[in-house]
Structure 1
Amino acid sequence: MIEAADIREWRNQAVVDPGGRKIGVLEAIYVDTTTDEPAMATVLTGMPTRHRLVFVPIDDAIVGPGYLKVSHAKALVRKAPAIGTDDVLPAEREEAIFQHYGMSYQPGANGERQLARR
């Protein structure tokens, strides 16, 4: 498992898919609020004038020299729910991210968010 402190050091490094194709650049890490472990990353993608941040799970990510390799294909990540580069993730959109990757979504007992940006 990648530690939260370690993964933040990789900000602005390339994020690649299992085949080594560049998806974008690591922008931020979101941790699971129940464990405080890294769960998702936002990846800066798009054209220079139309950037957006897409979410990708990092539970099986591998850190290499100058890149973070995620376990999902570039095409799937590029179609993931996104936010603008200056936006925050609304709580009501969290579940859609998990569904996109076929993952179960478990908010807190009182409806607390499952993801928090670090």
Structure 2
Amino acid sequence: MIEGKLQVTIKINELPQPTTVGNGLQQFGLNCDGRIISVTVKRKIYKKLTDAASSNYLQWVAAMSNDKPRSVYALNLGQQTQNGVVLDEPNIQVFERKLKPKAKATAGDA
């Protein structure tokens, strides 16, 4: 058996409503294809989401992943629940979602 690396990325484009848990951590739930993911992040990390939602972006997308070394905000697949898992302190990056240009009609499309 060889070793592999598990990388998880969850994308969202709506602001989740958190509850505050111990030490000012923000916790919210996500429904990922029927699996319920409980996410816990530091207040500073959650602010990235609120800034995107209140910014001038027409559309935005946030990606939560474990692409940093484990010593820094790694996505820890925590305790499994009946319908999903608990994610503790994932890294969150927010991007402006670019609108795709509409395809130009050609003479053959009519």
TM superposition score category, shorter chain reference? 0.3 to 0.5
**Rg (Cα) greater in structure:** 2
TM-score (norm 2): 0.32
